[in-house]
């Protein structure tokens, strides 16, 4: 006779959901509307079971307690989506290559510092697409004062992005020319070349907390992340990002996003999902 152990579904009450709403808002600026109650259950119950706890209450008591720091990060990760892709929303990369790069390359040649920020980089497809775009238009870029900053709140996705390695079936969206120029066979899949790997720096960063760096950027990609935030958090973030964009620089936002307070931020909407900082 075989015995199987079935873990019963952890208890999940309205009050647990309200606690999760407050935690998500306070820790990451994430807004969880009531319509997400079931989705939140399916994502967080996995964590509750993994911790071998019988209810959301026990899980939340642990996570908000003094020993819960690591689990809190896992909880926030469980509440966010990491969907991304190489050259996702391609018109931003076309704009980067055709409009931004000619002046940007000329300024770098004159000794100017150049920075681009991928502000919610997920598993790295966005910053690596930026790296391929800039190096494709300006192959000597590695010899100049240029860096890509790639950040995300989730340390697992940041580590994955920094590995620069992807399985062959994850490379969809990368044109053949870029594959042959920038990807090399490696253990575990294909890896971005050494030259390209010098361009990005990867960091864990909560966009709604303090940013431990100074300086401005010529271009900021902040795409498909503010959809999780409420209006107040979103507008505050646009303002802070705009303050970090150089005059004449650009902000790219996700396809379903817009900067409602663009004028207050000194941003002009020059094309769908593309904003330029006033000179
Ligand atoms: C849907 S992905 C978007 C990835 C990429 N920007 C793109 O458009 O393909 C959203 C990312 O935002 C990150 N995220 C959510 N809240 C965040 C916060 N408060 N600070 C920084 N990153 C956050 C998630 O971890 C996730 O990787």
- In-domain check, residue 5: no
- In-domain check, residue 85: no
Distance 120 CA to ligand 1 centre (A): 4
Q: 108 and 142: one domain?
A: yes
Segment 183-208 shows an average pLDDT of 96
Q: 188 and 255: one domain?
A: yes
Domain final residue pick, 22, 48, 78: 78
Predicted confidence (pLDDT) at residue 63 exceeds the cutoff of 60: yes
Q: Can 61 be counted among the known catalytic residues?
A: no
Considering the chain, what is the average pLDDT of its residues?
95
Q: What is the pLDDT of residue 250?
A: 98
What CATH number is given to the structural domain containing 270?
A: 3.40.50.150
CB of 178 shorter than 6 A to ligand 1: no
Q: 59 and 119: one domain?
A: no
Q: 171 and 130: one domain?
A: yes
Q: Can 203 be counted among the known catalytic residues?
A: no
CB of 206 shorter than 6 A to ligand 1: yes
Q: What is the pLDDT of residue 8?
A: 76
- In-domain check, residue 55: yes
Q: How many domains does the chain have?
A: 2
Q: What is the pLDDT of residue 274?
A: 98
Predicted confidence (pLDDT) at residue 37 exceeds the cutoff of 50: yes
Q: Which pLDDT band holds residue 66 (cuts at 50, 70, 90)?
A: very high
Q: What is the pLDDT of residue 9?
A: 87
Q: 150 and 257: one domain?
A: yes
Predicted confidence (pLDDT) at residue 1 exceeds the cutoff of 50: no
Distance 57 CA to ligand 1 centre (A): 27
Q: Which domain holds residue 203?
A: 90-277
Domain final residue pick, 78, 102, 117: 78
Q: 178 and 247: one domain?
A: yes
What CATH number is given to the structural domain containing 57?
A: 1.10.155.10
- Ligand 1, atom nearest to 83 Cα: 1
The share of the chain scoring above pLDDT 70, in percent, equals: 97
Q: What is the pLDDT of residue 14?
A: 96
CB of 249 shorter than 6 A to ligand 1: no
Q: What is the pLDDT of residue 116?
A: 98
Q: 42 and 101: one domain?
A: no
Predicted confidence (pLDDT) at residue 3 exceeds the cutoff of 50: no
- In-domain check, residue 2: no
Q: Which of 152, 160, 191, 223 is catalytic?
A: 152
Any idea of the CA torsion for 65, 67, 73, 74, to the nearest 10 degrees?
A: -100
Distance 121 CA to ligand 1 centre (A): 6
Segment 154-182 shows an average pLDDT of 96
Q: What is the pLDDT of residue 190?
A: 97
Q: What is the pLDDT of residues 69-91, one digit of tens each?
A: 999 999 999 999 999 999 999 99
Q: 103 and 209: one domain?
A: yes
Q: What is the pLDDT of residue 2?
A: 45
CB of 120 shorter than 6 A to ligand 1: yes
Q: Which pLDDT band holds residue 7 (cuts at 50, 70, 90)?
A: low
Q: 73 and 94: one domain?
A: no
Distance 227 CA to ligand 1 centre (A): 10
Q: 51 and 100: one domain?
A: no
Q: What is the pLDDT of residue 118?
A: 98
Q: Which residues contact 230 (CB under 8 A, 6 or more apart)?
A: 25, 29, 31
- Ligand 1, atom nearest to 154 Cα: 25
Domain final residue pick, 58, 78, 98: 78
Predicted confidence (pLDDT) at residue 99 exceeds the cutoff of 60: yes
Predicted confidence (pLDDT) at residue 186 exceeds the cutoff of 90: yes
- Ligand 1, atom nearest to 122 Cα: 27
Q: 23 and 102: one domain?
A: no
Predicted confidence (pLDDT) at residue 5 exceeds the cutoff of 80: no
- In-domain check, residue 8: no
- In-domain check, residue 60: yes
Predicted confidence (pLDDT) at residue 35 exceeds the cutoff of 80: yes
CB of 228 shorter than 6 A to ligand 1: yes
DSSP letter string over 116-170?
EEETT-TTTHHHHHHHHHHHHH-GGGGGSSEEEEEEES-HHHHHHHHHTEE-GGG
Predicted confidence (pLDDT) at residue 193 exceeds the cutoff of 50: yes
Segment 174-193 shows an average pLDDT of 96
Q: 267 and 157: one domain?
A: yes
Burial of 118 (0-12, 13-18, 19+ CB in 10 A): buried
- In-domain check, residue 241: yes
CB of 217 shorter than 6 A to ligand 1: no
Q: What is the pLDDT of residues 227-237, one digit of tens each?
A: 999 999 999 99
d(CA 196, CA 201): 11
- In-domain check, residue 83: no
Phi-psi region at 275: left, alpha or beta (left = phi > 0; alpha = psi -120 to 50): beta
């Amino acid at each position: 006779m075989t015995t199987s152990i079935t873990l019963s579904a952890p208890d999940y009450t309205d009050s647990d959901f309200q606690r999760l709403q407050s935690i998500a808002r306070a820790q990451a600026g994430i807004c969880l509307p009531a319509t997400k109650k079931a989705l939140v259950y399916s994502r967080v119950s996995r964590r509750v079971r993994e911790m071998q706890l019988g209810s959301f209450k026990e899980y939340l008591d642990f996570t908000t307690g003094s020993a819960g720091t690591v689990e809190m990060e896992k909880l926030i990760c469980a509440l966010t989506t990491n969907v991304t892709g190489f050259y996702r929303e391609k018109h931003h990369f076309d704009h980067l290559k055709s409009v931004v790069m000619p002046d940007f390359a000329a300024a770098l040649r004159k000794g100017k510092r150049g920075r681009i920020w991928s502000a919610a980089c997920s598993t790295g497809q966005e910053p690596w697409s930026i790296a391929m775009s800039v190096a494709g238009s300006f192959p000597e870029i590695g010899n100049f004062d240029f860096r890509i900053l790639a950040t995300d709140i989730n340390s697992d996705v940041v580590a994955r992005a920094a590995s620069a390695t992807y399985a062959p079936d994850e490379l969809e969206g990368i044109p053949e020319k870029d594959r042959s120029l920038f990807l090399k066979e490696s253990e575990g899949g294909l890896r971005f070349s050494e030259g390209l790997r010098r361009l990005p720096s990867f960091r864990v960063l909560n966009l709604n907390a303090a940013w431990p760096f100074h300086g401005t950027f010529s271009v900021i990609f902040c795409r498909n992340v503010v959809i999780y935030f409420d209006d107040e958090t979103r507008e505050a973030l646009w303002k802070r990002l705009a303050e970090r964009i150089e005059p004449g620089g650009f902000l790219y936002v996700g396809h379903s996003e817009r900067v409602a307070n663009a004028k207050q931020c000194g941003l002009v909407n020059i094309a769908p999902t593309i904003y330029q900082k006033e000179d």
